[in-house]
Amino acid sequence: MVNVRRIVPNVRCARPRESRSFYCDVLGLNVAMDAGWIVQLSSPTNATAQLGLIADDATAPVHPDITIEVADVDRVHARAVAAGHDVVHPLTDEPWGVRRFFVRDPNGVVVNVMMHRGAEA
């Protein structure tokens, strides 16, 4: 069994900061992270209810459509590889504290499977 911690849709946008203002001002979302090229927003009452606004992924060759945080990204990566799925960004330790890889689902959706380093459960 895979322990999924949260699922975040990623909205591609040309102007993530302007979009950030819209979602914060109109819907009352909070900024959980702002790296310029990606802005992570969260519900003020449920921190796991999130939305990602992404312009260009600064560290990967493709843009993820959805982010799924898991407890053991290495295990999920091994399962994806063993099943022959298209890994489009290798398992990588990113400088902002996450370990992740991108895999394409059967419909072509790019899934960013990640975990926060040090958050193994």
- Give residue-wise pLDDT tens across range 29-46: 999 988 888 888 999 999
What is residue 95's DSSP assignment?
T
Cα–Cα dist 109/77, whole Å: 16
Helix (H, G, I), strand (E, B) or coil at 118: coil
Position 42 scores a pLDDT of: 94
> What's the gap between Cα 81 and its chain centre?
19
Domain ranges of the chain: 4-116
d(CA 25, CA 20): 8
Pairing label, strands 66-70, 4-12: antiparallel
Provide the pLDDT confidence category of residue 119 given band limits of 50, 70 and 90: low
Task: Report the alpha-carbon distance of residue 110 to residue 87 in Å, rounded.
Answer: 9
CATH architecture, range 4-116: Roll (3.10)
pTM equals: 0.84
In this prediction, residue 33 carries a pLDDT of: 86
Q: For the stretch 50-67, what's the b/e string if a residue is b when 16 or more beta carbons lie within 10 angstroms of its beta carbon?
A: bbbbbbebeebeeebbeb
Direct distance between the N- and C-terminal alpha carbons of the chain, in angstroms, rounded to an integer = 13
